[in-house]
Chain A
Amino acid sequence: MTQEGGIAEIVVRHQDGKTPARGALLPILHDIQAEYGHISEETVRELAAALNLTRAEVHGVVSFYHDFNSKPAPLPAIKLCRAEACKARGVEALVPDAERAAAGRVKIETVYCLGLCSVGPSAMVGSDVHAALTPEKLNALIEEAA
């Protein structure tokens, strides 16, 4: 899938004329990531040209943030919170079975906190949030995502 066509349009959409153009880099990258599922090398090159940055600079930004991928994700993902409050509520005990059930079909991604710390364990699929996870509930999420 080629990304170039839509990139110029996305860049233009994010300029307000008030702040330096590069300030829009994160929103632009978010849009590209959302639209194409990843940010390709060609895209990095094109963005660098459009925003008057070096390729290394744009690449450095893409690689710094967990949300941006340079390759498309091979599997659908469930973001499972494994931060302290969810640990206190037992998330670690859910992990081995979940990993087994998900193997090869769904990626169980670790995130640190979804702001649902009083009712964990918590997970997010796309932008849907789930709390008070039990082995059954987590398993159902895996089956849904697969």
Chain B
Amino acid sequence: MSTEKSIVRISDDALALALGADKVAAAFEKAGATVQRVSSWGMHWLEPLIEIDGVGYGNAAPGDVATILAGSAPSIGRIEDHPFIAEQQRLTFARAGKTRPLSLEDYAATGGWIGLDKARAMSAQAIVEEVKASGLRGRGGAGFPAGIKWDTVRNARADQKYIVCNADEGDSGTFADRMVMEGDPYMLIEGMAIAGLAVGADKGYVYIRSEYPHAIAKMRAAVKHCAHIIAPFSIEIRMGAGAYVCGEETSLLNSLEGRRGEVRAKPPLPAIKGLFGKPTVINNLLTLAAIPWIIEHGGQAYADYGMGRSRGTIPVQIAGNVKYGGLYETAFGISLGDLVNRIGGGTASGRPVRCAQVGGPLGAYVPVEQFHLPFDYEAFAAVDALIGHAGITVFDDSVDMAQMARFALEFCAAESCGKCTPCRLGSTRGVEVMDQIIAGRDVERNLGLIEDLSDTMKYGSLCALGGFTPYPVMSAIKYFPEDFKNRDLTRESERAGEHA
């Protein structure tokens, strides 16, 4: 393979950078190669992943440059043929790995702006009808039909309306929003511009958590580069300030207005009275990013994927203690076990899988006995579990579920906006009680206390931070009682086992 002709492609997404991609890229340049920085394929266990003429070389270090250029380094073969990629149904992530994130040329060459052009020739109502026909439901967690939300805003009368993209992505185990912003920012922008046409809004905001400096930089640059294409629609990029609760939509709106990120009581719905009191579409980033595909191909084409009332594809994020972690977009309906064991390859540690937390810090711990569950909003809800933003965090058998239950409460206490007592004080009290349980004191009575606290939080909280924290806590207790009761004995025997 000749060094002159071939282009060496390396991702510049934050995850690749965190694993040393810049140093590897510099080493290739020093060796005289032409390097292109592209989006990530989402095969995270292989980053930094080098692609030359379609062939992939995983976990590249600067010292591997010579052998990779000579074609003698071990390769994974053609990346597109790798089962992890080949078996996906990538609609939202169709460009992942293939384009330079900020290149308008690459974007246009891969179908970019077709949806927007089509939408410009459609009536607002017709756009909303396509979104309704797609069956697209909000990807931020609640699964509310996007088309219905848009219709409410479209029908509201006001001198100003807004489109707000929720890119706060605070859930542990999730990174799909980040990957879109860093890998395919124009797709999100196109989706927002189409939303603007559909409801009559000419201004949009993207609210991005401050833990994502690379995404913020890419989005700022992208918005500048394509301002002329989306005009008269315009977009402002806003940075969060380190508050998980600001992912909750009304808290986010308060934050955009320059206020404390406290949750607002609903009604009024943001669709009627949102940002600065104006009708506002607020959607998760993945909801908006699905729009260009839907408008280009038609709502029905999107609805042809999926199962039950969960239509289309879902970008699943496989994370935690897993061998093959990354971004896996597929139609709804795939089983959790398939994702964790077959696609994810089980744990990275090589120990048995014990459970997975699905849907972030407010989602239930799902034991392996329930891994047959299909990815479907209703199927998960039926067993008190959550799909949420579709992050899967895998744990092996060394996890201490009492510690995880304690952490759920600790997280809630740290991130509570403080508005409701059950959330603010209940979570703090819960941590104290969990400490007693972990110390093996008065366990039965203290477990009763946790249950009461959970009920109070569930029914007395204004938003899902206080209201859903009981799910990880109670699922841990329900499926793994041995980690809570007789702790001394189990821990003792484990230690004995380890030394045996």
A75 CB to nearest chain B CB (Å):
18
A13 beta carbon closer than 8 Å to chain B: no
Give the Cβ gap from A25 to chain B, nearest Cβ, in Å. Answer: 3
CB distance from A86 to the nearest CB of B (A): 8
Interface string of B260-274 (1 = CB under 8 A from A): 111000000000000
A67 interface hit (Cβ, 8 Å) = yes
For residue B188, give the distance in angstroms from its CB to the closest CB of chain A.
15
Contact A119 B357 (CB under 8 A): no
> Of A2-10, A98-106, A125-133, which binds chain B?
A125-133
User: Which residues from chain B contact A89 at a C-beta distance below 8 Å?
Assistant: 320-321, 348
User: How far is B18's CA from A26's CA once the two chains are assembled, in angstroms?
Assistant: 28
Q: How far is the CB of B64 from chain A (nearest CB, A)?
A: 17
Query: What 0/1 readout, one digit per residue, does chain B (74-85) give for beta carbons within 8 Å of chain A?
Result: 000000000000
Q: Do A18 and B259 form a contact, CB below 8 Å, given A117-B319, A130-B18? A: no
CB distance from A34 to the nearest CB of B (A): 10
CB distance from A35 to the nearest CB of B (A): 15
B393 touches which of A60, A85, A111, A129 (Cβ 8 Å): A85
Q: Residue of A at shortest CB range from B318? A: A118
Contact among A88, A112, A115 for B178, CB-based, below 8 A: A115
A84 to B363, CA, bound (A): 11
Which residues of A are found within 8 Å of B326, using beta-carbon distances? Answer: 118
Give B363 Cβ to nearest chain A Cβ, in Å.
Answer: 10
With A84-B320, A129-B18 given, is the CB distance from A115 to B260 under 8 Å? no
Contact yes or no, A84 B239, CB < 8 A: no
Task: Report Cα–Cα, A84/B241, bound state, in Å.
Answer: 21
Given contacts A23-B258, A25-B258, A60-B260, contact A117 B241 (CB under 8 A): no
Which of A66, A86, A114, A128 is the one whose CB lies under 8 Å from B243?
A: A66
A76 contact set on B, CB distance < 8 A:
none
**In the complex, per-residue mask of A9-34: 1 if CB is within 8 Å of any chain B CB, else 0:** 00000001011101111110110000
A87 interface residue (CB < 8 Å to B): yes
Q: Number of A residues whose C-beta is below 8 Å from B?
A: 47
Give every chain B residue within 8 A of A65 (Cβ-Cβ). 241-243, 261
Return B484 CB to nearest CB of chain A, in Å.
18
Which of B236, B241, B243 is close to A29, meaning CB atoms less than 8 Å apart?
B241
Known contacts A111-B211, A131-B18; is-contact A88 B203 (Cβ 8 Å):
no
Residue contact B47 to A27, C-beta cutoff 8 Å:
no
Give every chain B residue within 8 A of A22 (Cβ-Cβ). 257-259
Chain A residues closer than 8 Å to B318, beta-carbon distance = 118
A16 to B236, CA, bound (A): 11
B257 near A23: Cβ-Cβ < 8 Å: yes
Chain B residues closer than 8 Å to A132, beta-carbon distance: 18-19
User: Cα distance A130–B47 when bound, in Å?
Assistant: 13
Is A118's CB under 8 angstroms from B45's CB? yes
Contact of A95 with B by CB under 8 A = no
Closest to B256 in A: A23
User: Could you tell me the distance in whole angstroms from the C-beta of B79 to the nearest C-beta in chain A?
Assistant: 17
**Does A94 make an interface contact (CB < 8 A)?**
no
A145 at the interface (CB under 8 A from B): no
Q: Assess whether A129 is in contact with B171, with CB atoms less than 8 Å apart.
A: no
Q: Which of A30, A84, A128 has the most CB of B within 10 A?
A: A84
Q: B211: which of A25, A61, A114 is its contact (CB, 8 Å)?
A: A114
Q: Are A88 and B211 in contact (CB under 8 A)?
A: no
Complex Cα–Cα for A99 and B425 (A): 29
Q: In whole Å, how far is B219's beta carbon from the nearest beta carbon of chain A?
A: 14
Asked if residues B18 and A119 are in contact (CB atoms below 8 Å), the reply is: yes
Q: Which residues of A contact B260 (CB under 8 A)?
A: 60-61, 64
Interface contact B174-A117, CB-CB below 8 Å:
yes
Residues in chain B near residue A64, CB distance under 8 A: 243, 260-262
- As a 0/1 sequence over residues 312 to 336 of chain B, the CB contacts with chain A under 8 angstroms (1 = contact) are 0000011111100110000000000
Assembly CA distance A70 to B417 (angstroms): 19
Q: How far is the CA of A16 from the CA of B243 in the complex (A)?
A: 25
B394 beta carbon closer than 8 Å to chain A: yes
CB-based contact A117/B276 at 8 Å? no
B150 at the interface (CB under 8 A from A): no
- Contact A113 B211, CB 8 Å, known A60-B260, A85-B173: yes
Indicate whether B404 reaches chain A with its CB closer than 8 angstroms.
yes
Q: Is B244 engaged at the interface, CB distance under 8 Å to the other chain?
A: yes
Are A26 and B239 in contact, CB atoms less than 8 angstroms apart? Answer: yes
A-B contact pairs, 7 of them (CB 8 A): A30-B210, A65-B241, A66-B243, A84-B172, A112-B361, A115-B169, A117-B173
Which residues of B are in contact with A by a Cβ distance under 8 Å? 14-15, 17-19, 44-45, 47, 169-175, 177-178, 203, 210-214, 236, 238-244, 255-262, 276, 317-322, 325-326, 348, 357, 361, 391, 393-396, 399, 404, 407, 411, 414-415
Given A30-B239, A124-B211, 6 other A-B residues pairs in contact with their CB atoms under 8 A: A26-B256, A60-B260, A88-B321, A89-B321, A129-B17, A129-B214
Question: Closest 3 interchain pairs by CB?
Answer: A118-B325, A25-B258, A66-B242
